[in-house]
Amino acid sequence: MLTHLIKKSVQEIKCPTLIVFSKASSQKEKLAEITHKELNKSLAEAIQDKHITGKHCEIILYREMNFQGYRHVIVIGLGKSSDINHEKIRQASASAYDAVKSLKSAEAAFHFDGITTSLKDSSSYIKAVTEGLHLASYSFEQFKSKKSDNKNEITFHICSQNAADKNVKKGFEEGVVLASCVNFSRNLGDTPGNLMTPEILAHNAVQAAKGTGVKVQVWNKARIKKEKMGGLLGVSMGSSEEPRFIIMEYKGAKATDKPLIYVGKGLTFDCGGISIKPSASMEDMKYDMCGGANVIGTILAIAKLKLKINVIGLIPSTENLAGPSATKPGDIHTARNGKTFEVNNTDAEGRLILADALSYASELKPQMILDAATLTGAMVMALGNTHTGYFTRHAELSKKVEKAAEVSGEWVWRMPLTDYHVQDMKGTFADLSNISSGKGAGSATAAAFLEQFVGEGIPWAHFDIAGTGWAVGNRLNYCSKKGASGAMIRTFVEFAKAASGTK
């Protein structure tokens, strides 16, 4: 799919399909309105009959309408004017994409100015439009012999009188970069475990970083051992695939500026190890590297947007299988920071690989650490697939997270993390146990375990994306039904943007 921003009115474009928008009225007795004057007149009857209501994401197709040189016209509902926000526009744009696709049209003119007539900031709205279109265009079909329709061949001409405006252009380009990085991470997530091993994940990070200014280092098993990463090594022992530790570095600010570090769980397949999982839905555990994939996407986006900030991405990556050398329940390993832990359940492996990554991150003297992980089933129980639960003890950091998520449109929810949760993670024979001695609060006790590896005084937040990492398409029309979502990439990039001061 291609999007072009052009300084033309839709009247000046020659292509088969026109996309316009309708707004619902706030007053009951009043009718909907189409954001294109002449069309509003032509379709007065349809509006009168309440065929067009302007309801958010309503899709009305007029095939062969032959209006002002356009063969087809698509009217997409924006909802009530007073309710319009970036997320509504993102979703309405995704609906526009779906409509053009279902028409099997190859080209469409997008009447952007109709959206923003009553809105001040065109730049952020055009960003939402390009995000919506590009995110909706994602599909994972490389393993189907028969591809569906004309999916990736659609061209959208986004028409705006403000197209030459510096900020509008910037908003447009930002939307394209962000969405393409999200789609890149989604593809890593959707690729099955046999084709997305730690080695392949690392290779993808190296390849994608070329030409972006991101420096990538990949540590192999021997190096991981040398670096005393007992958590990552311990989890990898049940598999014949070697683990990898991926380090991505982008310097957009002064060398002396402390980096913002992102850590992501890169578990390319989690069968649970010796504490093996039940078979039902085990195939979903190919998504257990989504935290890592999304950190890779975050670093790439920050570099491509040339944000004035230093960032580092750390992705510990391994399989968690039950081979002959696998870690056994009761085994004790030592993490990089010297703390020992009993592995009382080999399925609680994410925290073990993150332990080493967080220890290493802390040594790099960061200004902050954010991590993303498909860490606990308990998170899915608590928040389903609507919100990403996040944990931090740092009030200031929490405010920044909320602000970034507000801008990105991703939903986050702060969860508790207290000394009581830490208490539950004490070991019997080692410093720590990898599972809680108490009942419930499985996501909070996992966070408490992670906290033991974050250096004193470093602001840190942990994002458990177990519920939001994939299969959110029932809720968000710009995400695929079952596939990876790219959760938190947009929020993480927004966070970096705010931290860099280039707002």
If one asks whether residue 237 binds ligand BES (CB under 6 A), the answer comes out as no
If one asks whether residue 410 binds Mn ion (CB under 5 A), the answer comes out as no
Q: DSSP assignment, residue 195?
A: G
Q: Which two tokens stand for residue 166?
A: 């510096």
- Amino acid identity, position 105: S
Q: Which of 58, 241, 249, 270 binds Mn ion (CB under 5 A)?
A: 270
> What are the backbone dihedrals phi and psi of residue 473, each rounded to the nearest 5 degrees, phi first?
-65, -20
Of 477, 417, 469, 27, the closest CA to residue 284 belongs to 469
Show Cβ contacts of residue 332 under 8 Å, excluding neighbours closer than 6 positions: 340, 341, 342, 343, 429, 430
Window contacting ligand BES (CB under 6 A); options: 103-111, 117-125, 343-351, 411-419: 343-351
Q: Which two tokens stand for residue 290?
A: 């989504």
Q: How far is the CB of 349 from Mn ion (least distance, A)?
A: 5
If one asks whether residue 427 binds ligand BES (CB under 6 A), the answer comes out as no
Q: How far is the CB of 471 from Mn ion (least distance, A)?
A: 18
CB nearer ligand BES, residue 42 or residue 345:
345
Q: Is 475 known to be catalytic?
A: no
By beta carbon distance, the residue nearest ligand BES is 377
Show Cβ contacts of residue 192 under 8 Å, excluding neighbours closer than 6 positions: 286
CB nearer ligand BES, residue 105 or residue 374:
374
Q: Which of 205, 260, 435, 448 binds ligand BES (CB under 6 A)?
A: 435
CB nearer Zn ion, residue 272 or residue 366:
272
**316 with 404: CB under 8 angstroms?**
no
113 binds, among Zn ion, ligand BES, Mn ion, none (CB under 5 to 8 A by kind): none
If one asks whether residue 380 binds ligand BES (CB under 6 A), the answer comes out as yes
Q: Which residues from 348-367 bind Mn ion, rule CB under 5 A?
A: 349
Q: How far is the CB of 160 from ligand BES (least distance, A)?
A: 41
Q: How far is the CB of 61 from Zn ion (least distance, A)?
A: 43
If one asks whether residue 345 binds ligand BES (CB under 6 A), the answer comes out as yes
Q: Output the 3-class SS for 60-124.
A: EEECCCCECCECEEEEEEEEEHHHCCHHHHHHHHHHHHHHHHHHCCCEEEEECHHHHCCCCCHHH
Packing angle between helix 489-500 and helix 395-408, nearest 10 degrees?
120
Alpha carbons 215 and 465: distance in angstroms, whole number: 26
Cβ count within 10 A of residue 280: 7
Window contacting ligand BES (CB under 6 A); options: 21-29, 183-191, 368-376, 410-418: 368-376
58 binds, among Zn ion, Mn ion, ligand BES, none (CB under 5 to 8 A by kind): none
b/e 217-226 (16+ beta carbons within 10 angstroms → b): ebbebeebee
Window contacting ligand BES (CB under 6 A); options: 32-40, 107-115, 376-384, 418-426: 376-384
451 binds, among Zn ion, ligand BES, Mn ion, none (CB under 5 to 8 A by kind): none
If one asks whether residue 377 binds ligand BES (CB under 6 A), the answer comes out as yes
Write down the number of H helices and E strands in the chain: 16, 19
If one asks whether residue 471 binds ligand BES (CB under 6 A), the answer comes out as no
Window contacting Mn ion (CB under 5 A); options: 92-100, 103-111, 343-351, 401-409: 343-351
If one asks whether residue 119 binds ligand BES (CB under 6 A), the answer comes out as no
Report the first-to-last Cα separation within the chain, whole angstroms. Answer: 28
Show Cβ contacts of residue 293 under 8 Å, excluding neighbours closer than 6 positions: 185, 186, 188, 189, 201, 264, 266, 484
CB nearer Mn ion, residue 150 or residue 345:
345
Alpha carbons 399 and 421: distance in angstroms, whole number: 23
Set 151, 169, 228, 277: catalytic member: 277
Q: Is 223 known to be catalytic?
A: no
Number of C-alpha atoms within 13 angstroms, CB side, residue 410? 29
Window contacting ligand BES (CB under 6 A); options: 120-128, 293-301, 377-385, 391-399: 377-385
If one asks whether residue 466 binds ligand BES (CB under 6 A), the answer comes out as yes
Q: Which residues from 268-287 bind ligand BES, rule CB under 6 A?
A: 270
- CA distance readout (Å), 274 to 186, 289, 326: 29, 20, 7
Binding residues for Mn ion (CB under 5 A): 270, 347, 349
Binding residues for ligand BES (CB under 6 A): 270, 288, 345, 347-350, 374-378, 380, 435, 442, 466
| Residue numbers annotated as active site | 277, 351
